[in-house]
Amino acid sequence: MPEHCAAYACSNRQTIEARDRGITFHKFPKKDVRKKWEVALRREGFTATDSSVLCSEHFKPEDFDRTGQIVRLKDGVIPSVFNFPLHLQRVGVSS
């Protein structure tokens, strides 16, 4: 069962098709950074597990380290690209 991207309204799954489209999937980091990701997702009651993933569409191009054979996220980056519905967009960004 391919993992589904944890982001709101994102239907990307960890499939060969997604990989062919250049989408990479990234596991949630540990501890402090994981909490920041959970907050960034703005999904009420969501708690990431060790199998939770986010797809590369929620990160800026400069968030990635593409120097190796596999695309990695740089340490400590926070996902910042989401398609939130209007009622969620009004929630304070700087809180």
Nearer to Zn ion, 57 or 63 (CB): 57
Find the part of the chain contacting Zn ion (CB under 5 A) among 26-34, 39-47, 50-58, 78-86.
50-58
Least distance from Zn ion to the Cβ atom of residue 5, Å: 3
Looking at 41, 53, 55, 73, which residue binds Zn ion (CB under 5 A)?
Answer: 55
Confirm or reject binding of residue 24 to Zn ion (CB under 5 A): no
Confirm or reject binding of residue 48 to Zn ion (CB under 5 A): no
Nearer to Zn ion, 3 or 35 (CB): 3
Looking at 3, 4, 8, 10, which residue binds Zn ion (CB under 5 A)?
Answer: 10
Cβ contact 64:72 at 8 Å? yes
DSSP string, 26-95: EE--SHHHHHHHHHHHT-TT----TT-EEEGGGS-GGGEE-SSSS-EEPTT---------HHHHTS-S--
Compute the half-sphere exposure of residue 82: CA atoms within 13 Å on the CB side of its CA.
Answer: 22
Residue 68: Cβ within 10 Å count: 7
> Which residues are near Zn ion by CB under 5 A?
5, 7, 10, 12, 55, 57
